[in-house]
A and B are shown apart, each in its own frame.
Chain A
Amino acid sequence: MNFLQLFAHNLTKGPFTDPFPFEPAPTAKRFRGKIEFDPETCEGCRKCEKVCPAGAIRFTKTANGLEFDCWHDSCVFCGNCEFHCPTNAIHQTQDWHLAHVQQDKFSMVEHGVIPSHECPSCGKPALYTAAPANKIKGFSEAEVAEFRSLCPKCRGKYLRERKSRS
């Protein structure tokens, strides 16, 4: 190796380091960063909570519904939750800007609520979770919306009735 050549190469083609934080650092498109949660598409299956090796995800049942929390400081960015999530409701973003001051450490949380409401059919409280994709094959948009609003019991009934109709 000719080090003079290398020197000239590095002098003309360099520098090879990123000027971060003075300029934004380039981030790969597939970068596995901060977790994002979308309560709209979540089925509430809690698989992500089960497969998370770091215990960063917790679901809690409250009066509001099913509350989702993901502690960014516990998360190891493995992507297991995203891989096993049936709807991609939880996914990793390209964002890696997670530096924070010490007193913020417990508020570095991704929070979401799957709201609780009254089942229009039986009147019992139900979670407004997304309908499992494998159950609603061939449903029209109105049917999906109706199905979604039901409680688990009435969803079962709805499916049976729809099947017997067809």
Chain B
Amino acid sequence: MTEHTVASSYKIPVGPLHVALEEPMYFRVSVKGETIENVELNAGHVHRGVEYLATKRTLLQNMILTERICSLCSNSHPEALAMAAETIGAVEVPERAQYLRVIAGEVKRVASHLFNVGILAHLVGFEALFMHAMQVREVAQDLKEAVYGNRMDLGAHCLGGTRCDMDDEAIAFMRTALDKIEPDVRELEKTYRTNGSILRRTRGIGILTHEDAIACGVVGPVARASDIQYDVRTAAPYHVYDRLPVEVPVLDGCDVWSRAMIRLQEAVNSIEILWVCLDHLPDGPINDGGDPYIPPGQAIARTEAPRGELVYYLKTNDEPEPERLKWRVPSYPNWDALTFMLKEAKVADIAIIVNSIDPCISCTER
């Protein structure tokens, strides 16, 4: 008689394809039965060498290249680069351009957050809600296409201002779109707050305690769902954020559900900010040709991307190409926190937990 031995724990690979989104993340998960014991993160599947490439391109080209580092935060990258270059060159950004920059950023935030909570519904298996969330997001997508000419890469910024002005027609279009999307987003927020299917799969799942969140240095909605009140827009206001009604919602649930709720509340707040911006949009120039002189120097700029704090470091010399361009993206610390969130979790919850940090692999591995 042969003896069968059953190992008490197994290692299973998760990824690199289709963990939550169609982006390559790879985890080696040790499981005991249904429960995760340990997680190893593996990175590097979509490393494209963009940081090196950026030092071979002029600043004007980099305004476009950096936009293509990430698709959902695409607006924040050139924004931060422009802010760093403007700091070095002591370039003043006209007031109208500052408002337009806020508008571009907040429209992207609404679309990005709706996409994430939509995917959450999909992973929960609630396809009707997923379709509805995506349909609501489509209003924001149409808005971007109508005002900026592209659904994802807005090309809103240039050095020293913005590239794309909003005429009366664009403003009217935006007002109609906001009118349409606002009640829907509020309704979505209510649904995610009360719907049994969502609550059963997301409450108490993927816990990242306040202490662990601080230890990992997480940012964005992930941090705010672990009771860390930190948002660059209020901590170090840029553009005209100090004049706008920015609210920084925090929750202490520390779970997947709290992160989704933070995103939905932020989407509502972004719409409020957009209304105020449209009402107070001053007249005036929006740029000064977009090609200011940037002397040698170095600077750091921070913006609040939809996923959290985005930090840019720029060092220029006498060449039109930067000597060094480096960025710290929000998904980098948040990704690390997954090891804490996935501990003791069930295998079936992996995708939901991974999605809850709204991972962006392409910008983390650049």
Contact = CB atoms under 8 A, between A and B. Distances in A.
A105 interface: no
A83 B290 contact: yes
Nearest to B289: A84
Contacts of B155: 32, 78-80, 83
A80 B190 CA distance: 42
A80 B128 contact: no
Interface string A81-118: 00110000000100000000000000000000000000
Nearest to B145: A28
A1 B153 contact: no
B149 A30 contact: yes
Given A1-B190, A1-B191, A16-B138, A80 B61 contact: yes
A154 B148 CA distance: 42
A30 B147 contact: yes
A76 B58 contact: no
A126 interface: no
Contact of A83 (B128, B163, B187): B163
Interface residues of B, number: 34
Contacts of B64: 53, 76, 78, 80
Contacts of A6: 128, 132
B57 interface: yes
Contact of B61 (A1, A51, A83): A51
Contacts, number: 64
Nearest to B187: A1
A31 interface: yes
The secondary-structure label for the interface of chain A is loop
A84 B292 CA distance: 12
Contacts of A30: 145-149, 170
A51 B60 contact: yes
Contacts of A92: 149
B163 A31 contact: no
Nearest to A52: B61
A83 B58 CA distance: 16
B339 interface: no
A84 B64 CA distance: 13
A137 interface: no
Contact of B150 (A16, A77, A80): A77
Nearest to A92: B149
A155 B272 CA distance: 56
Contacts of B96: none
Best-surrounded residue of B138, B150, B187, B188 (most CB of chain A within 10 A): B150
B104 to A, nearest CB: 14
A31 B145 CA distance: 6
Nearest to A32: B149
A52 B61 CA distance: 6
Contacts of A1: 129, 132, 187-188, 190-191, 195
Q: Which of A3, A50, A51, A76 has the most CB of B within 10 A?
A: A51
A52 B63 CA distance: 11
Nearest to A54: B64
B212 interface: no
B291 interface: yes
Contacts of B129: 1
A85 B44 CA distance: 38
A162 interface: no
Given A3-B128, A84-B60, A84-B291, A76 B68 contact: yes
Interface string A9-49: 00000001000000000001111100000000000000000
B300 to A, nearest CB: 23
A52 B191 CA distance: 45
Nearest to B164: A30
Interface in A45-77: 50-53, 76-77
Nearest to A1: B191
Contacts of A50: 58, 60
Given A78-B155, A80-B61, 11 more contacts: A3-B128, A6-B132, A16-B135, A28-B142, A30-B148, A51-B60, A53-B62, A53-B64, A78-B153, A79-B163, A84-B60
Interface of A: 1, 3, 6, 16, 28-32, 50-53, 76-80, 83-84, 92
Interface of B: 57-58, 60-65, 67-68, 128-129, 132, 135, 138, 142, 145-150, 153, 155, 158, 163, 170, 187-188, 190-191, 195, 290-291
7 contacts: A1-B188, A1-B195, A28-B145, A50-B58, A52-B61, A84-B60, A84-B291
